[in-house]
Structure 1
Amino acid sequence: MTALVSVFVAITVSLLVTRLAAEAIVLTGLSRQAAEFQARSAFTGAGFTTRESEQVTNHPARRQIVMLLMLFGNAGVISVISSLVLTFVSSADTRQAGWRFLILGVGLGLMWIISSNRLFNRYLTIFLRWGLRRWTKLDVRDYAKLLRLMKDYAVTELRVKSQDWLAGKRLDELQLRDEGIVILGIQRPDQTYIGAPHGETQIRAQDLLIVYGREDALSQLDSRRSGSVGDQDHRQAVAEQQQVENEENMRDKASQA
């Protein structure tokens, strides 16, 4: 039974460690989805893709967090496996082994229910963030809040293909701001990066664009193809953005009244 208890303790600590690490990575400016994936991958030793590895290794704070996760992960996985082996190998009685399987299943089920509870996760997040701000020197700016990444707005990446409406045009020709879209940066195929590109910057095939705007507008832009149909889609997107801006202005005036 002692070995079974140690299994639950090891799993609980593992969940808390990965959650704490994910919150720490979020505070360095990475999205929550990517942070949770990287934390769990590092803890279990599953590894990352090349691009995700660069996001970690190029940031000193993230690199340190992931190194600690790998260390704790190796120790935690080994502890759980050894405890499970001791729990069931040491039991010669079939009935006793069955009870231990039942206890293990119920315990894991309860842990899953608790870890999936929204209220529990919300308060746990508040506590972990408070602790990280209190006892660490992480860059704790909330980039999602700074960019207002809520409701309809998002930052995403678009890969430009040769048949896309964007390909081969300068930014001042595209007039994307009229659609409510801002290009924050461009990464060329040769890894050259252009931050805050100006109007004369040309979009090329295979460029990776970092763009900000409404999610539906970004989705439409990503699927827009060259030619007269693409030009018509652009004009329609401009009209839709004008309607959005008019509604926002009306709400702003109403709030001031």
Structure 2
Amino acid sequence: MTAIISLLVIITLSILVTRIGTIALIHTGLSKEAAKFQARSAYLGVGFTTKESELVVNDPVRRKILTVLIFLGNAGIITTISSVIFSFISIEESGFFSTEIIVLFSGLLLLIALSRSRFIDRKLSSLIDKALSRYTYLEVKDYYSLLHLDEDYRVSEIKVKKADWLTDKTLQKLELDAEGVRVLGIRRLNGKYIGAPKGKTEIKEGDLIILYGKTESIQSLENRKEGSSGDMEHNNAVTEQKRREQQEQEE
């Protein structure tokens, strides 16, 4: 029974550690889903090669968070394996229809239910926020909530190609604001970064532009090609944005 209880405690601590890591990464500017994936990947030591991993590795604060998660994950996995072995030895000795097996499965079901509870998630997030603010030097700002990224808004990067509608046009001519899309920054091919670019800034082939707006608006912009069809899509997007704004005012 001791081995089974130890196993449940270790799993609980693992969930808590990855949750703390997720919230810490969110506070550094990662989206909720990206932060969750990176935290779990680091804790389990499974490796990650997504686009967000470059942002994590290049940031000293995020790198420090993942280093701690990797260290705790190595210790946690070894302990978990030991507990699993002892748990199965205990179950084998007492039989598969014993108190031990009932406690094990009941505990696992309870942990799954708690991990999916939105109420528990909100309370736990609040406690972790306060702890991070009080006991760490991490700048506790939840950019995910600040930018309303859970309400169909997103921050996204687009690589500008030669045949794209965006290519060789100034921001003033593109009028992306009228579509409800904001250009936060542009990274040129030579590595130069332009933050909060103005209307006379020209989008060039090979640029990596950072956008903020509705998911569907950014996806439409990413797939838009040059020519009359692209201009028509832009006009339709502007009309849709006006309708959206009018609806928001009426509400």
Please, what TM-score do these two structures have when normalized by structure 2? 0.87
Alpha carbons of 1:236 and 1:92: their partners in 2 closer, same or farther (altered >3 Å)?
Answer: closer
Q: Paired residue for 1:138? A: 138
Select between 30-39 and 197-206 the one with higher mean Cα deviation.
197-206
Select between 49-58 and 69-78 the one with higher mean Cα deviation.
49-58
Check the 8 A contact 1:154/1:212 in 2, yes or no: yes
Q: Give CA-to-partner distance per residue, 1:74-99, whole Å, 9 cap, x none.
A: 11110010111122236663x52553
- Partner Cα separation in structure 2 for residue 150 and residue 106 of structure 1: 33
- Matched letter for residue 70 of structure 1: I
Report how far residue 103 of structure 1 moved. Answer: 3.6
- Partner Cα separation in structure 1 for residue 155 and residue 230 of structure 2: 22
- Partner Cα separation in structure 2 for residue 85 and residue 196 of structure 1: 56
Q: Paired residue for 1:170? A: 170
Select between 34-43 and 44-53 the one with higher mean Cα deviation.
44-53
SS in 2 for 1:165: coil
Check the 8 A contact 2:91/2:101 in 1, yes or no: no
Alpha carbons of 1:46 and 1:243: their partners in 2 closer, same or farther (altered >3 Å)?
Answer: same
Check the 8 A contact 1:187/1:193 in 2, yes or no: yes
Alignment of 1:198 onto 2:237? no
Alpha carbons of 1:89 and 1:244: their partners in 2 closer, same or farther (altered >3 Å)?
Answer: closer
Q: How does 1:8-157 map to 2 (within 5 A)?
A: 8-49=8-49, 51-89=51-89, 93=93, 96-99=95-98, 100-149=100-149, 151-157=151-157
Select between 132-141 and 8-17 the one with higher mean Cα deviation.
132-141
- Partner Cα separation in structure 1 for residue 227 and residue 193 of structure 2: 28
- Partner Cα separation in structure 2 for residue 152 and residue 18 of structure 1: 25
Select between 116-125 and 56-65 the one with higher mean Cα deviation.
56-65
Please, what TM-score do these two structures have when normalized by structure 1? 0.86
- Partner Cα separation in structure 2 for residue 160 and residue 173 of structure 1: 16
Alignment of 1:185 onto 2:167? no
Alpha carbons of 1:176 and 1:85: their partners in 2 closer, same or farther (altered >3 Å)?
Answer: same
- Partner Cα separation in structure 1 for residue 37 and residue 240 of structure 2: 36
Equivalent pairs counted in the alignment come to 250
Alignment of 1:208 onto 2:214? no
Report how far residue 10 of structure 1 moved. Answer: 0.8
Q: Give CA-to-partner distance per residue, 1:217-247, whole Å, 9 cap, x none.
A: 2222222221111111212222333333444
Check the 8 A contact 1:186/1:193 in 2, yes or no: yes
Alpha carbons of 1:202 and 1:87: their partners in 2 closer, same or farther (altered >3 Å)?
Answer: same
Q: Paired residue for 2:230? A: 230
Q: Give CA-to-partner distance per residue, 1:90-142, whole Å, 9 cap, x none.
A: 6663x525534454233212211111111111111111112212222211123
Check the 8 A contact 2:22/2:39 in 1, yes or no: yes
Q: Give CA-to-partner distance per residue, 1:177-215, whole Å, 9 cap, x none.
A: 222222111223454432222333332334322112233
Check the 8 A contact 1:88/1:97 in 2, yes or no: no
- Partner Cα separation in structure 1 for residue 20 and residue 81 of structure 2: 23
- Partner Cα separation in structure 1 for residue 209 and residue 82 of structure 2: 48
SS in 2 for 1:151: coil
SS in 1 for 2:158: strand
- Matched letter for residue 6 of structure 1: S
- Matched letter for residue 61 of structure 2: A
List runs of 5+ in structure 1 lacking aligned partners. 252-257
- Partner Cα separation in structure 1 for residue 173 and residue 165 of structure 2: 11
Q: Paired residue for 1:6? A: 6
